[in-house]
Structure 1
Amino acid sequence: MTKKLYLYSPELGADVEVLSCREIDSGRYAVRLDVTPFYPQGGGQPSDVGSIGDAQVLHVVTENDDVIHYVNQLIPLGKAIAQVSANVRNLHSTLHSAGHLLAHVLVSQGWLAIKAHHWPGEARVVFKASTDIPAIDLEVAAVQQLCDAAIAQDLPCKITINENQYRQVTFGEYTPYGCGGTHVNSTGELAGLRVVSMKFKKGQLTFNYDVEPVITSVEQQQ
């Protein structure tokens, strides 16, 4: 079982042990580590990229209890340094947190978030109506204002992990969501959030959004 460091810490670098490295096709290898700072694709968030030793990490996935890192060259077994790309992590964390914030503000208005996708260029959150929707103008500009108000409060990100390793994430006092993804430190880092469009179809309300990442404390650690 790979220990997932990203669940507990924003650190992007780590000393790791390469447990296995096997060629899966021409010029691509699958690597298992004892611990990893790399976030594997899942939960609506793309995987981290970066490096392990001299090898470039192209993609990361979960297989059973292990995290598999796909790299571009053979890596010797033993000690190595793993390094996540700060720019890519920042973009993915900002998109994921922006999706959570969009969900929080719409849920606070009586909608129910049912699914989300946080990929660059195609980020969206989908809602359905609750039984009692309060009167609110659901124009894009109005929802943008709700998000901007929460951003201006600079609400801290709160992450909790219980004894069963169930992880929950929220901002400020919003109701937490179960989530294994990476996030910014507070809503103040989401100033680049832009609600792009909305569509209501077959009882579902979809908001598309994008972000313009800003420099975060995570990047400043690099």
Structure 2
Amino acid sequence: MTERHYYHSDALQLQAQVLACQPLEDGNYALELDATLFHPQGGGQPADGGTLNGEPLLRLVPRGEDILHVVARPQPLGAASLEIDGRLRVLHARWHSAGHLIGYLGETQGWRPVKAHHWPGEGRITFMPGDGVKALEQAWLQEALTRLIAADLPRRQRQENGMRQVGFGDLPAYGCGGTHVRSLAELGEVTISALKMKKGQLVVYYDLR
């Protein structure tokens, strides 16, 4: 099992152990590690980037409880240095955390988030109407979102029934395996760009600057 350090650490460097190195059909190599800082694509969030022993990380492949790290050249078994692309990590964390806030605000008006896409330039949250649903206005959503960001609530996380729960301040926490900002002011300016109804679902589009 690959221990996922990004669950509980914001570090950008880690010393890990290469347990296995296997050639792939495309000429690259898949490394099995005992631990990682790299978040693989999933949960609506794109994968981290960076280097492993100075080699650019080409992709991450979840395999059961392991995460395979694909690089262009074989690496020896034993100690390995992992380094996260900090700029990319912060970017992805900002988009992901902004999506969580929008999901929460929709819930306060009776809308149930059913799908999220936190990719830079493509942010959107899809809602289904729930009990007691109210009209969700773009101006209200923007004002409420801006107010939460200005409050600069700190990130909090805990383990509950084996699941990592992530929230901010006294807002509800949600089961999540992704990366997030330390506090909401790090989000910067988040803009609600559009709301659209599609086949009975409400899609909220958002952007960051």
**2:159 counterpart (158, 161, 174):** 161
Match for residue 144 of structure 1 among 142, 145, 148 = 142
What corresponds to 1:177 in structure 2?
A: 174
Matched to 1:128, the amino acid is M
Which structure 1 residue ranges, 5 or more long, are not aligned?
213-222
**What is the aligned partner in structure 1 of residue 194 from structure 2?**
197
TM-score by length of 1: 0.89
Report the equivalent of 2:57.
57
Q: Is the 8 A contact 1:56 1:73 kept in 2?
A: no
1:192/1:58 CA distance change after superposition, 3 Å: farther
Checking the alignment, whether the CA contact within 8 Å between 1:92 and 1:119 is kept in structure 2 is yes
Structure 1 distance, partners of 2:56, 2:191, is 32
Partner of 1:187: 184
Q: Secondary structure at the match of 2:58?
A: strand
84-93 or 191-200, which deviates more: 191-200
Q: Does the Cα contact within 8 Å between 1:55 and 1:74 map onto a contact in 2?
A: no
Structure 2: 5+ residue runs without aligned partners?
A: none
1:206 aligns with 2:197: no
How far residue 140 of structure 1 moved from its aligned partner, in angstroms, is: 2.5
* TM-score (normalizing by structure 2): 0.94
Matched to 2:126, the amino acid is: V
What is the alpha-carbon root mean square deviation over aligned residues? 1.4
> Whole-Å Cα distance in 2 between the matches of residues 165 and 52 of structure 1?
29
Q: Contact 1:45/1:96 (CA < 8 Å) preserved in 2?
A: yes
Once the two structures are TM-superposed, the CA of residue 27 in structure 1 deviates from its matched residue by 4.0
Q: How many angstroms does 1:43 deviate by?
A: 0.9
1:107 CA displacement: 1.1
Which residue in 1 is equivalent to 2:4?
A: 4
What is the CA distance between 1:99 and its match in structure 2?
0.3
CA distance in 2, matches of 1:144, 1:191: 13
Aligned residues: 209
| Counterpart residue identity of residue 114, structure 1 | V
Structure 1 counterpart of 2:143, which letter?
A: Q
Identity rate, percent: 43
**Aligned-pair CA distance for 1:24:** 0.9
